[in-house]
Amino acid sequence: MTVMLTMTSDAAIDDPSSGSGIRRTVGTYVDSVVSRPLFWLLPALLFITVFQLYPVFEVFRMSLTDMSLITSEESYVWLENYRRLLGSERFYSTLRVTGLYSIASIILQIGLGLGLALAIDYGVRRGLRGPLFTRVVVLSAWIVPGIIIGLVWKIMLLETNVGVVNNALGRLGFGIVPFLSDAQIAVVSVITAGAWRGTAFSMIMFYAGLKRVPDELYRAAKIDGAGPLARFRYVTLPQLKSVVFVVTILVTIYSLNSFDLIFALTNGGPGRATEVIALSMYKSAFNSYEMGMAAATAVVLLMVTLVVTAVYFRLFDISEEI
Amino acid sequence: MAGRTDTTFGGARLDVSWSQIRRYCYDGVTYLVYGLAVLFFLFPVLWVISLSLRTEGAVYTSLELLPSNPSLDSYREVLDSGLLRWMRNTLFVAVLSVTGILLVTTPAAYGFSRFRFRGRRSLLLAVLGFQMISPIVIVLPLYDIMRTLGLTESHTGLILLYIGLQIPFSLWLLKGYFDTIPTELDKAARIDGCNRLQTLRYVLLRPVMPGIAVVAIFNFVLTWSEFVMAYTMLSPGGEDLYTLSMGIYVFDNQLATQWTNIAAAAVIGIVPIVIFFVALQRYFVRGLTDGAVKG
């Protein structure tokens, strides 16, 4: 009843000059449509349903079948794909590589990002030269398409004289370092290239967080006699807590699901030394055509991501802040 | 300020000097951090540019950044072999995707910000939950869906896909922006006779512009650079359909060791989008810092 009332009064306000009944009805109709939330949300919800919700269900369903890219027939094999996956050496190797890559990436990117954000914030507050330039350079690295980053680092790390790193090391009297052909060093190379790309994201998030710390807090702490380290520990960090949480979650999700950079840099090699879960999933789908197996791998990847995120929510205990 | 450092190290001034010395130390460390960061993040790009300007024979020898007799031959060769076309495709896909994303998310963000209805909070959380699902996880069913709909090997399909994938994040960001705008504005507009559509168009759109700019810039960069979806959906089609990222990847695999050409392709993959971003990064960073990224 109240809804009806507001509707009619809206229409009156809407078109005060009009005496025409038809325009009035159209106005009322438009008003009643646009005052429903569904009108505003529908397109977005449709897109999400088709391109996100349904595919998530579908990947679970696919993982229970023997679907293949070559034939159109498929039948349910239930947990067979998972049984095969858990029984294969390759699966544990990709799990190990993904874990190692992700942990190193999280530590590196958050550490470097926070350090850079602090340096830039300090420079801006002190009026030094250079913080803007530094910020732009770091952000530019983030903008470069992942596949091109892989290519750039491949060129940098070539194991001939063309590779600038090896060339420079050679001039200093070192031998050729097998950056991409040694199993262990290749992992380090992939992590380094990943940090080159990812650091900017945590830097800019931390920087945004730092800018929102009110100057009064620092001044008050200074008056209370807190040194720079104490100010960082007791003023900056607590204020950054929710940003740290968001950045950690996003960087984790991002590194666990890494694909394009590694695809271009090493394609998982040498052997399987840098083959992360996403890469092995993609290969079983489009090189071996086993969509069912690949879907099972994707489901495992999704599960790993969700479990890790849930653990973060427990650890951080930010319930009072969201 | 500067005059005081060289005056004295003794007596009553000692206190002042110490804090000043400490400050200079901090400044020094800060500059060192800037220097190292610039070296690490800029050098690879400079090096690739340097390689791209060399003749094929000069790549093995020198370490100089400025090659002695620079040549643009590799660019000419690379652009002729398809890169120009792929760049046009990428621009087309990115512009239409961003337009679509804004057309779909702006009303939805308004809706989530201005209406109170049953299930609003859970719906919002569900939408944000998709943010945790990486596109790579659902690339297989997406490929299957697109194949069924006959939308693989088509730019239209890719654009629809990008819109669908980018909605959750953009919605989250824009909704935060709408939340920062006081509802008094809505009420005033209502009294002035605006319905909700008009309120959004004539009253709220302007204050929400920084948020729209962030969403537009972010999504443009993302769709320009995107690889997995483009590669999966478009590679069965002809080279004419390729986007820049996937084109360069395929190209790199064909060229084997022609490093100057590969470097030139990489530079073309880097420079336009970085210039675009550097020109607009002010709005991007301001939108992020002033606005609504709530913890």
Residue B13: which pLDDT band, with cuts at 50, 70 and 90?
Answer: low
Dihedral, B112, B117, B122, B123 alpha carbons, nearest 10: -50
Single out the residue of A158, A152, A198, A190 nearest to residue B269, CA to CA: A152
Report the SS3 class of residue A76. Answer: strand
pLDDT digits (tens, 9 = 90+) for B234-284: 988 888 999 999 999 988 888 777 888 889 999 999 999 999 988 998 888
Single out the residue of B98, B42, B61, B81 nearest to residue B268, CA to CA: B81
- Six token digits for residue A74: 């498929």
| Rounded CA separation B19/B21 (Å) | 5
A85-321 is classed CATH 1.10.3720.10: yes
Indicate the DSSP class of residue B12.
G
Q: For residue A28, how far is the Cα from the chain centroid?
A: 45
Predicted structure pTM score = 0.87
Domain boundaries defined on chain A: 1-35, 85-321
- Taking CB atoms and an 8 Å cut-off, how many pairs form between chains A and B? 283
The phi, psi pair for A65, rounded to 5°, reads -115, 175
Single out the residue of B244, B226, B225, B135 nearest to residue A257, CA to CA: B135
Question: Cα-atom radius of gyration of chain A, to the nearest Å?
Answer: 27
Residue reference for tokens 């495992």: A300
The distance of B127 to chain A (nearest Cα, Å) reads 8
Residues of chain B found within 8 Å of residue A212, distances taken between Cβ atoms: 289
Query: Residue A264 is nearest to which of B47, B60, B249, comparing CB atoms?
Result: B249
Residues of chain B found within 8 Å of residue A155, distances taken between Cβ atoms: 47-48, 51, 259, 262-263, 266
Q: Where are the beta strands (DSSP E) in A203-320?
A: none
Residues of chain A found within 8 Å of residue B247, distances taken between Cβ atoms: none
Q: Are the Cβ atoms of B295 and A321 closer than 8 angstroms?
A: yes
Neighbours of B227 (CB within 10 A): 23
Residue B16: which pLDDT band, with cuts at 50, 70 and 90?
Answer: low
- Which residues are paired to A65 by β-bridges? A76
pLDDT digits (tens, 9 = 90+) for B42-90: 999 999 999 899 887 777 666 777 777 788 888 998 888 889 999 999 9
Q: Are the Cβ atoms of B130 and A242 closer than 8 angstroms?
A: no
Answer for the pair A63, A281: CB distance below 8 angstroms, yes or no.
no
Q: Are the Cβ atoms of B145 and A152 closer than 8 angstroms?
A: no
Residues of chain B found within 8 Å of residue A242, distances taken between Cβ atoms: 295
Q: What is the identity of the amino acid at B183?
A: T
Question: Is the omega angle on the peptide bond into residue A270 within 30 degrees of 0, that is, cis?
Answer: yes
Q: How many residues does chain A have?
A: 322
Residues of chain A found within 8 Å of residue B28, distances taken between Cβ atoms: none
Q: Are the Cβ atoms of A128 and B47 closer than 8 angstroms?
A: no
Residue of A nearest to B34 (CA): A134
Could you tell me the mean pLDDT of each successive run of 10 residues in chain A, 322 residues long?
Answer: 38 47 76 87 95 95 91 88 93 96 96 95 90 92 92 90 86 89 94 95 91 85 85 87 90 94 92 94 92 95 94 74 46
pLDDT digits (tens, 9 = 90+) for B151-191: 999 999 999 999 999 999 899 889 988 998 888 898 899 88
